[in-house]
A and B are shown apart, each in its own frame.
Chain A
Amino acid sequence: MDWGTLQAVLGGVNKHSTSIGKIWLTVLFIFRIMILVVAAERVWGDEQQDFVCNTLQPGCRNVCYDQFFPISHIRLWALQLIFVSTPALLVAMHVAYRRHEKKRRFRNGEKIDIEELKNEKVHIRGPLWWTYTSSIFFRMVFEAVFMYVFYYMYDGYQMPRLVKCKAWPCPNTVDCFVSRPTEKTTFTIFMLAVSGICMMLNLAELCYLVIKIFMKDSRKTT
């Protein structure tokens, strides 16, 4: 069990999304989850083993690593992906709830076509519109929060080659060297760029939904 299950659930949401929503899902799967699993995890795999400090003092490396990397990039990205995907689950639950209600009405005697129910494309109207729009809003909020957390925790998006550490038990100031800083910076900027693209897509989808609802309302009144 891994990201595959999340992928399967989100794939289900794909049916009820707008076109921009489908593009967003594709970007999420290919450029974020897949890159995380296939590439980024290898780059950060040996991060503490290869974090080397210019001292023989036992324990110094551990405390310096902990001081400069309170939570690793790779874990932050995993959490970001989980939080950003979760609002889409709300939409999936809402659609499932609607289907459940229709099935209940069918069982209580109303005539509903079962086949049509299974393959029905749920239109984003009414309460579902609100669920969908709030899910997009929350996605944007989570993206922004995580981008800010990254910036705040690591003083920008660059991975330094050398950090100077004076935490006890390190004697005086000690030079510590981060492993693969350039590769890590490259991936950090890549993930940042893709986050930005996802935010743009979310914003576009939000605007599209709002405009669509206004146009529908104005058509109704004319």
Chain B
Amino acid sequence: MSWGFLRDLLSGVNKYSTGVGRIWVAVVFVFRLLVYIAAAENIWKYEHDEFECNIRQPGCENVCFDHFFPISHIRLWALQLIMVSTPSLLVVFHVAYRENREKRHNQKLYRNPGEIDGGLLCTYLISLILKTGFEIVFLVLFYKLYNGFKVPHLVKCDVRPCPNTVDCYISKPTEKMIFLCFLVATSCLCIVLNLSELSYLIFKYSIKCYLKRYIQKHQ
């Protein structure tokens, strides 16, 4: 069980998405998941081993690392990817429910179970709102936990058992910062895609509803 599951999930979601939704899937796939696995994971691989403090006191490095990195950037990134992809499962479940219903009643209840209308539209809109919400929550979490998106090359630590204040050096801070910026940029792009998809769907279906009522009135 690995990222392959997420890949299959995203491919499944692709079938029931709008055009913008498909672009979102491609962005998540290529610029977030693939970059994470192919490049980012290795940067943070030895972050604890390479974290060095200017002291010989045993335990000092451990407590300082723990103090400055309560949860590592790379783990937050992974959690963000998982949480952001999961709301799409709601759509997949709803379509499966519709198909199941058709099978049980043995008759065609929907013109096309995968078409985004009625209840499925609500589910789709909810999944978009949840996705956007999770993106924003994680960006705020990153910002709050690490005081911005910068990775300093030196942190000053005075947690026990370190005597007084000790200089601790983080490994590969520039590379980490570059990839964090990449993460923020792709997150923002995904938020923009989600919001435009949301407004497109709301606009499209309001027009449809309005036209239907207008035609009914004139009949």
Contact = CB atoms under 8 A, between A and B. Distances in A.
Interface stretch (B92-100, B102-110, B125-133, B173-181): B173-181
Interface in B133-181: 153-154, 167-175, 178-179
B124 to A, nearest CB: 18
B52 A49 contact: no
A81 B31 CA distance: 11
B71 interface: no
A58 B30 contact: no
A70 B42 CA distance: 15
Interface in A95-119: 97
A78 interface: yes
Interface string B65-94: 000000000000000000000000000000
Nearest to A72: B175
A89 B30 contact: yes
Interface residues of A, number: 32
A66 B153 contact: yes
A184 interface: no
Contacts of B37: 1-2
Interface residues of B, number: 40
A40 to B, nearest CB: 12
Contacts of B38: 2-3, 78, 81-82
A82 B34 contact: yes
B189 interface: no
Contact of A62 (B34, B153, B178): B153
Nearest to B171: A62
B6 A1 contact: yes
Interface string A58-72: 110111011001111
Given A78-B35, A78-B39, A61 B52 contact: yes
A75 interface: yes
A93 B167 contact: no
A58 to B, nearest CB: 4
B50 A59 contact: no
A158 interface: no
Interface of A is mostly: helix
Contacts of A70: 174-175, 178
Given A1-B6, A75-B175, A89-B30, A59 B167 contact: yes
A79 interface: yes
B22 interface: yes
Contacts of B178: 70-71
A169 B29 contact: no
A61 B51 CA distance: 11
B211 interface: no
Given A1-B2, A89-B26, A58 B53 contact: yes
A93 B26 CA distance: 10
B55 interface: yes
Given A1-B33, A48-B50, A58-B53, A79 B39 contact: yes
B35 A66 contact: no
B148 to A, nearest CB: 18
Interface in B10-49: 19, 22-23, 26, 29-31, 33-35, 37-39, 42-43, 46, 49
Given A1-B2, A79-B39, A93-B26, A48 B172 contact: yes
Interface of A: 1-3, 5-6, 41, 48-49, 57-59, 61-63, 65-66, 69-72, 74-75, 78-79, 81-82, 85-86, 89, 93, 97, 169
Given A82-B34, A169-B54, 10 more contacts: A1-B2, A1-B4, A48-B50, A57-B54, A58-B54, A59-B52, A59-B154, A59-B167, A65-B172, A169-B169
